[in-house]
Chains A and B, each alone.
Chain A
Amino acid sequence: MGVEICVEGLTKSFGHQVIWQDVSLTLPAGEVSVMLGPSGTGKSVFLKTLVGLLKPDRGSVRVAGRDITKLREHELYEVRKQFGVLFQDGALFGSMNLYDNIAFPLREHTRRSESEIRRIVLDKMDMVGLIGSERKLPGEISGGMRKRAGLARALVLDPEIILFDEPDSGLDPVRVAYLNQLIVDLNAQIDATFLIVTHDIASARQVPDNIGLLFRRELVMFGPRERLLTSDEPVVRQFLNGRMQGPIGMAEEKDAAQVEQELAQLADRAPVQAPTPRLLPGPGITRPPRWEAIARREAELRRREVADV
């Protein structure tokens, strides 16, 4: 079962530049959450703060009750074993082939025999569809494959929490769809707590239980998916619809008067869209009770929509 992450009053700045301040949210155990935000709002910084790679100026991050901002270095390394992180480019070790990369955490942290390691590694490689590429070096494969290999490596220690740093950046739409399905399947299979940092709206609409939005150095909103998808908050609506009209401008922020005018124009024509259907685990996956409930709810919603039409 996954672990709850409780963030309170988190503030981070580099020099005089405040990245975000007073971010408070709770990632519920075993659920999938997405953190959205325009480029350059410190989404990756947030993710790195959660695993203790960066120290926040203020605030706390409690993982299963332990505040990781106050832990000593060697305790931090222990807590991190509960995490699996998929970095933007996979962050594979360039000098090792894919097999050794994925086996690396097992060889470092466990006393398993090579045959056991082989079984686990091949199992995870199968999960992400990389069978047959064991001997390839990270430099020889495509970005999508590197991401999947990075994911396999993040999975080998059976983490309680998995963090994804822009899993969809630099991938084509088809691969993004496959990766999203993989994320949902994984959540149904291993029950870990997931946090996905992204700016891909399509994924954010389909995949998560919860959505958060970072903008203007703060967390604008964090809550269940439906609440954000149907929200009237101008920033949330603008971002989730990928529109130009709204508070988010090309260079971060817009002039208040202009925003008012644009929103007034929009109000007459754009009705709040019905939430996009949720992505469910694939047919081959045995669904735990949580996902059974979600599937039932989704089916109910679809039925009501059809009835409405």
Chain B
Amino acid sequence: MSLSPTGALRQSGHLFAMALDVLRTLPRRPFQAREFIQQAWFIASVTILPTALVSIPFGAVIALQIGSLTRQLGAQSFSGAASVLAVLREASPIVTALLIAGAGGTAICADLGARKIREEIDAMQVLGIDPIHRLVVPRVLASMVVAVLLNGLVSVVGVAGGYFFNVVLQNGTPGAYLASFTTLAQLSDLWAAEIKALVFGAIAAIVASYKGLTAKGGPKGVGDAVNQSVVITFMVLFVTNFVMTAVYFQVVPQRG
């Protein structure tokens, strides 16, 4: 990898070119249903457990922070509202982004990278099969679907974790927690989070596929590709998250 500014530009240019290729190839028949289902299953299987395990402490931390703050202010009845809002709006997209990039993206990148250096991708192209259509599109779609589902999982587990810590450990009242549930958060928050997850899934899979398909230089090249793919995906996802949040606040009127 070169460190020259044009090198970085060229890389991002190639990345966007591939994203466009994916978009263009999306409607092409036949749809690779088998590959899609396999990949969705595969990505789900590597992400579900870590996601659940990460979102419990995430919900708990938010509950702890908010719990002590609201007690000091004498606004305990609002701790439920605040923790739901925090989990739904920020924690779940962030956790989804971390897991889909860290677990799903790396798996995709390592898989495609290994195929690339074993010349499987070249062989596929020579056999007249477009790897974007055959391999990348199903992975991107699978990653998007799984990201949306993961986001739902994070929301449920995070809120449940928050409830447990607030009510059981900090002696909050279950009634107040549940009653204030929808004082701040609203349904559009959930939609926004799901749309974020959809976009994150697409970005993570495209970056991972790009890095995998351009891996070179033997097994070490695959390792480097995976490493770079995680770093790039994290940066891109966090920026995207910020932009989407900013747009969301402008577009959707807030409660409270």
Query: Which residue numbers of A lie inside 8 Å of B, CB to CB?
Result: 48, 51, 53, 73-74, 77-78, 80-81, 83-85, 87-89, 91-94, 104-105, 108-109, 150, 153, 157
Contact = CB atoms under 8 A, between A and B. Distances in A.
Interface string B98-133: 000000000000000011001110111111111000
Contacts of B118: 89, 91, 94
Contact of B127 (A89, A94, A105): A105
Interface residues of B, number: 15
Q: What's the dominant secondary structure at chain B's contact region?
A: helix
B128 A87 contact: no
Contacts of A109: 127-128
B120 A77 contact: no
A85 B120 CA distance: 12
Contacts of A84: 126
Nearest to A104: B127
B119 A91 contact: yes
Nearest to B121: A91
B115 A77 contact: no
Given A78-B128, A85-B123, 8 more contacts: A77-B128, A80-B125, A91-B120, A93-B123, A94-B118, A94-B120, A153-B127, A157-B127
B115 A94 contact: yes
Contacts of A157: 127-128
18 contacts: A48-B122, A77-B130, A78-B128, A80-B128, A84-B126, A87-B119, A87-B122, A87-B123, A88-B119, A89-B118, A91-B120, A91-B122, A91-B123, A94-B118, A104-B127, A105-B129, A150-B123, A157-B127
Interface of B: 114-115, 118-120, 122-130, 134
Nearest to A78: B128
A-B complex: 6 closest residue pairs judged by Cβ atoms: A91-B123, A91-B119, A81-B128, A85-B126, A80-B128, A87-B119
A152 to B, nearest CB: 13
A280 B15 CA distance: 51
A80 B129 CA distance: 9
Nearest to B133: A77
B201 to A, nearest CB: 23
Nearest to A87: B119
Contacts of A88: 119
A154 to B, nearest CB: 8
Contacts of A104: 127
B18 to A, nearest CB: 12
Nearest to B38: A95
B128 A53 contact: no
Given A87-B119, A91-B119, A53 B127 contact: no
Contacts of B126: 51, 53, 80, 83-85
B119 to A, nearest CB: 4
A93 B119 CA distance: 9
A105 B127 CA distance: 6
A53 B122 contact: yes
Given A91-B118, A94-B115, A80 B123 contact: no
A78 B127 CA distance: 9
Nearest to A84: B126
Nearest to A156: B127
A78 B128 CA distance: 6
A193 to B, nearest CB: 15
A92 B120 contact: yes
Nearest to B28: A74
A152 B128 CA distance: 16
- Which of B118, B124, B128, B134: most chain A CB closer than 10 A? B128
A108 B129 contact: yes
Contacts of A93: 115, 120, 123-124
A94 B114 CA distance: 10
